[in-house]
Amino acid sequence: AESVAALDANFAHVTGYYSATNDVTYAAILASILADAGAYFEETRLGSFRVVQLPVPDNDDAVATMARVSVDNPAASGVIDLMDFRLQVPGDQAAANPVKSLTVKYRRNYRVMTGGDLGGDASLPPIDDVETPSTDPLNYDPVGGWEVRAALALDYAASDPVDDDTVAADYPLATDLEIETGLTTEAGAEALRDLLFARLKVERVFATAQVPNTDAGVDALRRGDVVTVTHPDFGFDTGKPMVVIGITRLGEGGASGGRVVELRLWG
């Protein structure tokens, strides 16, 4: 998604933002709303803003290939020289562990109410289930029945969890994840749940790569782009798809002492 309009086409679900303070920033509101669509915004090096929805790493979507280049292993046409490549330990180790179960909370209830707050008669059916509603004698629950009462007693509604037994069996450290959102519908919560689970149910790695600043292919890279990394030392002989999540232009210095760009990768 390159813009809000494109994101709306990919994820057409309503979300909201509530703040109990007056000093909230526009950036904080925008970040929260985009996060409910599995996206974020960035300022490009040219000073414009674009929306990024993190893709599932897939070599079929790669816009560039990176590999170590030397006299004995010259670069093929279009291959970016991988001057330096290092795996990184994430700040939160749990972030690297696969997720085996994911639930998305939605439709936040800003005033939790129980039977004492609601009144009515919980033993009566909701009005829609009564053929001839009457208030004298009252033959329906004005609150809406047990389903409505149960919803009002919770701070959020929750999607059904999505689970993967294979992930649970293969990864003892796999985690259960529950996410609170501003989404307003079950369909929106399920869409976000499925989008995130496709990205998080796989064991992921974080890495940094240094590449030449003089390569036109590097200059065209943007956050959210998928690249193929080929590096036999890390078991990536056939190429590992990774997503660019950070770009830093280091100038002089870096692994080769020349002008380099450092990429943060996830895949």
Secondary structure of 155-206 as H, E, C letters: CCEECCCEECHHHHHHCCCCEEEEEECCECCHHHHHHHHHHHHHHHCCCCCE
Side chain identity, residue 225: D
Cis amide prior to 126 (ω within 30 degrees): no
| Sequence ranges of the domains in the chain | 55-97+203-267, 99-200
- The winner for highest mean pLDDT among 112-121, 186-195, 232-241, 248-257 is 186-195
DSSP state for residue 74 in the 8-state scheme = P
CATH topology of domain 55-97+203-267: Elongation Factor Tu (Ef-tu); domain 3 (2.40.30)
* Contact assessment for residue 81 and residue 211, using Cβ atoms and an 8 Å cutoff: yes
Hey, what are 7's tokens?
A: 């994101």
Higher pLDDT, 85 or 216: 85
Quick: pLDDT tens for 135-179.
888 988 888 888 888 888 899 999 999 999 999 999 998 999 999
Interval 203-228 mean pLDDT: 88
Supply the pLDDT for residue 194. Answer: 96
